[in-house]
């Protein structure tokens, strides 16, 4: 009987600490961190950006071998066609199609992913693939992919903190040798606030479809890293082994903290409390109510209140379409 590939997926809005959390989990034995795998084809292959190991994606020993086994090499016609195809898959307009889980685009994407993740596990020699793609569309694709045993860490952070972080452009050192954007552009409070709502609601819905999920709040995770890591490892059926420092993985795209030195401390970033104006706080509060209250964010300025509720209503275990 064929075995499934276990994938620990970190989902949620960006600027919530997913890159550091991924690297902390990847310090556990028998794991491989692949960053935002949804961006492998467009940013990693087409734009020739850097892997988390410091090599260009096409030159990285892991990704070059993955490409060879998947399509005979990234520079083949099949490799170039996958770049074109997944650029379309990642387009915002395809989100409704992916959520519906039907149609040729979804079927083709899942067919490729059913091959890609086992190849990554085999080449890396790891039984757990950690994917911090964050976007719910990618999680929905994986949830319906044959041979993938998906577990989701639903990462949430105070929406005002997320909006404040997205208000500042960030340099992207991983694009230094390629053709991708050199800066992660700033985004408007309205765009980020609405996306925060939508992403969190979609992950709650995914739980109701039977996907094993743990909600992790950024503020709790940075205050008690060991407890968070125990929760994440329990989700994938493993015991947590204290392992100080951040693992160097093979992350695609994501936050520049992919390149932070091993052993860098995990520190809570609350600069938004002093730097974000009242008017913007009120705007974000209005945009994200009542979704934010579900996670204990009951004031635009307050720290989270009380324990997290269950991630969603009891799952009905009905299969995902497709």
Strand partners, 215: 154
Span 79-105, mean pLDDT? Answer: 97
Nearest-10 crossing angle of helices 61-71, 77-89: 100
Task: Please give the structure tokens belonging to residue 102.
Answer: 């039907």
Domain boundaries, the chain: 5-160+167-186+212-269
The answer to whether residues 28 and 126 touch, using CB atoms and an 8 Å cutoff, is no
The answer to whether residues 154 and 203 touch, using CB atoms and an 8 Å cutoff, is yes
Q: Which class for 58: exposed (0-12), middle (13-18), buried (19 or more C-beta within 10 A)?
A: buried
The answer to whether residues 29 and 172 touch, using CB atoms and an 8 Å cutoff, is no
Which single residue is written with the structure tokens 């086992």? 118
pLDDT band at 259 (very low <50, low <70, confident <90, very high): low
> For the whole model, what pTM was predicted?
0.92
pLDDT per position as a tens digit, 197-250? 999 999 999 999 999 999 999 999 999 999 999 999 999 999 999 876 788 889
Span 1-15, mean pLDDT? Answer: 90
Q: What's residue 301's pLDDT?
A: 82
The answer to whether residues 182 and 48 touch, using CB atoms and an 8 Å cutoff, is no
pLDDT per position as a tens digit, 121-174? 999 999 999 999 999 999 999 999 999 999 999 999 999 999 999 998 877 655
Q: What's residue 228's pLDDT?
A: 96
Beta-carbon count within 10 A of 252 CB: 30
pLDDT higher at 54 or 140: 140
**What share of the chain has pLDDT > 70, as a percent?**
89
Rounded to whole angstroms, the Cα distance separating 54 from 37 reads 16
pLDDT higher at 126 or 322: 126
pLDDT per position as a tens digit, 297-321? 988 788 898 888 776 554 444 444 4
Rounded to whole angstroms, the Cα distance separating 103 from 85 reads 14
């Amino acid at each position: 009987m064929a075995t499934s590939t276990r994938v620990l997926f970190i989902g949620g809005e960006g600027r919530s600490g997913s890159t550091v959390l991924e690297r902390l989990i990847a310090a556990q034995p028998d794991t491989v961190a692949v960053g935002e795998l949804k961006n492998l084809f467009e940013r990693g292959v087409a734009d020739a950006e850097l892997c988390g190991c410091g090599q260009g994606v096409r030159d990285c020993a892991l990704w070059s071998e993955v490409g060879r086994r998947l399509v005979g090499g990234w520079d083949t016609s099949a490799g170039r066609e996958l770049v074109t195809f997944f650029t379309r898959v990642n387009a915002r307009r395809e989100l409704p199609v992916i959520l519906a889980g039907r149609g040729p685009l979804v079927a083709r994407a899942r067919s490729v992913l059913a091959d890609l993740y086992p190849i990554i596990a085999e080449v890396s020699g790891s039984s757990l693939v950690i994917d911090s793609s964050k976007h719910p569309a990618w999680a929905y694709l994986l949830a319906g992919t044959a041979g993938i045993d998906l577990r989701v860490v639903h990462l949430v952070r105070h929406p005002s903190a997320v909006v404040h972080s997205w208000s500042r452009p960030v340099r992207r050192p991983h694009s230094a040798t390629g053709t991708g954007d050199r800066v992660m552009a700033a985004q408007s409070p309205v765009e980020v606030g609405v996306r925060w709502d939508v992403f969190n609601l979609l992950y709650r819905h995914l739980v109701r479809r039977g996907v094993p999920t743990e909600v992790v709040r950024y503020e709790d995770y940075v205050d008690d890293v060991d407890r968070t890591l125990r929760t994440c490892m329990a989700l994938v059926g493993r015991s947590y082994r204290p392992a100080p420092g951040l693992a160097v993985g093979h992350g695609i795209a994501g936050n520049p903290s992919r390149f932070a030195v091993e052993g860098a401390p995990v520190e809570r970033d609350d600069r938004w409390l002093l730097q974000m104006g009242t008017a913007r706080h009120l705007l974000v509060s209005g945009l994200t109510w009542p979704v934010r209250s579900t996670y204990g964010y009951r004031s635009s300025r307050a720290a989270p209140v009380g324990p997290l509720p269950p991630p969603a209503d009891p799952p009905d275990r009905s299969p995902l379409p497709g």
